[in-house]
Each structure stands twice: as C-alpha cells, then as structure tokens.
Amino acid sequence: MARQDNDIIRPRLILASASPRRSFFLKELGLQFDILPTEIVEKVKKGETPVEFAGRLAVEKALAALKKQKRSGDKTVYSLGADTIVVLGGKIYGKPRHKTEATAFWHELGGQTHQVITAFAIAEFPDKIICVETATTAVTLKRPSKREVGEYLETGEPLDKAGAYAAQGIGKKFVEKIEGSVTNVIGLPLEALIPWLKKLKLL
C-alpha cells in the first residue's frame, strides 16, 4: 500500500546555534527543531576572505552538531549552522571580548556604512554538506556620542553581538539605514534559507 502524505516521516532538524534570534525565525516559520550549540575556533585563516571565513564557520558548526548525533530510526537528520560577521574595509568585527574592545568597534563603525555577512550551511547526517550560502547587507550607523556609547555598553547588549550592536534591539536607535535583507542583519537571511527548507521537506 502506498504511503499517504500524512504518514511521511519528516526529517529532523538541528539548529547548531544558541542564538535566540535564529530560534525565533525558525519558530515563526512553524518549524520543529532541536537546539545544539557548538564550540569551534573562530579564527580567520591566512588569505581567507570575510565571505569564506563566515562560510567555513557555518559549515564547521553544522558538522560539529552532527558529530554528536545518531540517526533516529529512518529519519533523515539535518543540521543548520550559521555565522554572522560585520566587515568594514576588509576588517572583520566579531563579538567584542570586553567593553574596551566594544568601545573601539564603535569608534571605527560609528558614522560608517559597513557590511553584515551571514553564512548558513545545511548538512545531512553523518557528514554530507547540502548547501552553503552567504548574504550581504549594507548597514549605515549613526555616530553616537561617547556618553551614548557608554550607556549602550552598560545594557550588556553589545557584548554578545557581532560589531557590538543589535539592529533588532536597543541598538536599533543607532541604525541609520539598512540596504538589503533585514533578517540577514539579525542572523539568518530567510530569503535564501526558505527555498532550501522547502526543497528538503523541512517546511
């Protein structure tokens, strides 16, 4: 007897990230998924471009999550890894290690237009890379005063964000213009991701 549509075993999805913004996007799409943060070394290799760097980290995160898994019955298991970086003049700005570094970030990024690059990778158990894509969005920040930067740092928000700001949070007041995907700036370029989710029968 042919299997009915409602009997189809849906693939399992793992989000290799602790980012609440990425989880929010996937939940808004109606997806069911497990969260499995991964620990990898985020260091740029010699000669690596920002796009290559973000793409490599996304792949490494997706594969690291799968290494901790075992196939569940006859379900296909996919993992989604992602990495977001801020780039200005070829320099990569990740998450600041402390307030002093965050202040330095704002000194360089304030009043400038920079690029936000998010890469995502989908891998299939045990170690097959299905896709790697990147999206770039131009973001122009206002130039805040030292007092404004100090007050923003005291909120704690900048210390967990690439470039030391959150476009969807308190930092939104410092964003002058966004050219391109807004969800990409927040952590996942949905315009590029959704077609893959549909293709893999996850959505």
What is the C-alpha to C-alpha distance for residues 177 and 189, in angstroms, rounded to an integer?
Answer: 17
CB burial of residue 38 (10 Å; 0-12, 13-18, 19+): buried
Show the tokens assigned to 72: 């569940």
What is the C-alpha to C-alpha distance for residues 81 and 51, in angstroms, rounded to an integer?
Answer: 15
C-alpha distances in angstroms, 148 versus 98, 122, 166?
A: 17, 39, 15
Query: Long-range contacts of range 101-105, CB-CB < 8 Å, 24 or more positions apart?
Result: 101/164, 102/153, 102/158, 102/159, 102/164, 103/149, 103/150, 103/153, 105/158, 105/163, 105/164
Catalytic residue among 34, 74, 83, 160: 83
- Name, in order, each residue with C-beta under 8 angstroms of 31's C-beta and a sequence gap of 6 or more: 13, 197, 202, 203
SS3 164: helix
Q: In 3D, which of 52, 109, 84, 94 has the Cα closest to residue 183?
A: 84
Give catalytic status of residue 83 as yes or no.
yes
Active site residues: 83
